[in-house]
Amino acid sequence: MSRTGRTASIATTAVRRTALLFASLAIAVALWESYKAVGPADGGDVFGWRIIPKTNDRVMPHTWTMAAEFGDDAIGSGDQKVWSVLLGYSWYTLRMALAGLALGMFVGVGLAVAMARLKIVERGLLPYLVISQTIPLIALAPQITVIRGSLDLPQWTSAAALAAFLSFFPVTVSTLRGLQSAPAASLELMDSYAAGWWTTLRKLRFPAAVPYMVPGMKLAATASVIGVIVTEITLGGLRGVGFATIDYSQKVTSQPASVYAAVFAAAALGLIMFGLVAAGESILMRRRPKESLG
């Protein structure tokens, strides 16, 4: 396929996916409103299990109320509108998430390479990497922040570090699998060129690993955003989307829909990060054979 042909097909896919995105939003709105119309205002039981959510306006505002909220004045922020305040918060969080993702990818790929190089490192270290993911971020956050304080680093580094902590693992696992996926014949070929391990890494193992790394990076991207937001909520002092959710939940009696506005901002952030990785995937993988879609 020619260069213009390829670009055109990436563009068509993008358009189609955006259209489907709007369609799915429309469906979500329809589901929300129809449930709100029929559901009990104060919740209900099924066989004694309280699983039917409440539908009153405070807890479950109308979707148009939530949409309108973005245009309202933000309480406590002068005469700025909610959307502009949230935009500022989102940008702040996004930057930390990107930093955390970059750090997480750096660490993740580095660990994967070390483990691919020395089998003993894989055997000795991988169990602990798995265990590390079982440590709840909330318990770790104060510990990290105390250490950060004693090292006199700026506040946002806690968020980036914790975001990296959540995002490095899927990168490590998927990269390791990818590095180990090079076909034996190709490894023999590189051997026949008397190519060293690092040369083989650069020219064979790493390119072969890319298709495996992509799903890992998608998980890492969303994990990174979560890591930052959780840090903002647990530690305070960082003016990001996470902060907004706490701030607005305290104002829930006067402006119930604002919490949802912050939630949407958080979700949008996750989508943007995911989209960035997906765009990267399209570019990186454009010259590879397509997966067979039955």
Partner 1 sequence: MSAATDQAKAVVVSDVSMVFNQGGPGAVAALDHVGLEVEPGDFVSLIGPSGCGKSTLLRVIANLLEPTAGSVLVNGKSAHQARIDQDYGMAFQQSGLFEWRTVTKNIELPLELKGWDKQRRRERVSEMLELVKLPDRGGHMPWELSGGQQQRIAIARALAAHPPLLLMDEPFGALDEMTREHMQSELLQICAATGTTVVFVTHSIPEAVYLSDRVVVMSAGPGRITDIVSVDLGRDRDEDTREDDTFYKKITEVREALRGGELTDSARGIEDR
Partner 2 sequence: MTTQRAVETLWPPALFGAAFLVLWESVVRIFDIAPFTLPAPSAIFTAFVERFGQVREATFETGTNALVGLLLGIVLGVLASLLTVRFVQVEALLTPLAVAVNAIPIVVIVPILNNMLFGTTSQLPRRLMVMLIVFFVVFVNVSKGLRQVSATHLELMRSYAASPTAIMYKVRVPNALGYLFTALKIAAPLAVITAFVAEYFGGVQNGLATGVRNSLNGSKDVTWAYVIGASTLGLTFYLISVALESAAGKVNRTA
Q: Which residues bind partner 2 (CB under 8 A)?
A: 16-17, 20-21, 23-25, 27-28, 43, 49-54, 59-60, 120, 123-125, 127-128, 130-131, 133-140, 142-143, 146-147, 150, 170, 173, 215, 218-219, 222, 225-226, 229-230, 233-234, 242, 245, 249, 259, 262-263, 266-271, 273-274, 291-294
**If DSSP codes are grouped into helix, strand and coil, which group holds residue 101?**
helix
Question: Which of partner 2, partner 1, none sits in contact with 143, Cβ below 5 to 8 A by type?
Answer: partner 2
189: Cβ contacts below 8 Å, ≥ 6 apart: none
Helix (H) or strand (E) holding 46: strand 44-46
Q: How far apart are the first and last CA of the chain?
A: 22
Q: How many other C-beta atoms lie within 10 A of the C-beta of residue 57?
A: 12
Fill in the per-residue mask, 272 to 291: x = in contact with partner 1 (CB under 8 A), - = not in contact.
---------------xxx--
> Is 151 one of the binding residues for partner 1 (CB under 8 A)?
no
**If DSSP codes are grouped into helix, strand and coil, which group holds residue 50?**
strand
- Quote the CA–CA distance of 11 and 257 in Å, as a whole number: 36
Interface residue with partner 1, options 193, 198, 237, 250 (CB under 8 A): 193
CB of 131 to partner 1, least distance (A): 34
DSSP 45: E
Binding stretches for partner 1 (CB under 8 A): 183, 185-186, 188-189, 191-195, 199, 203-204, 207-208, 210, 287-289
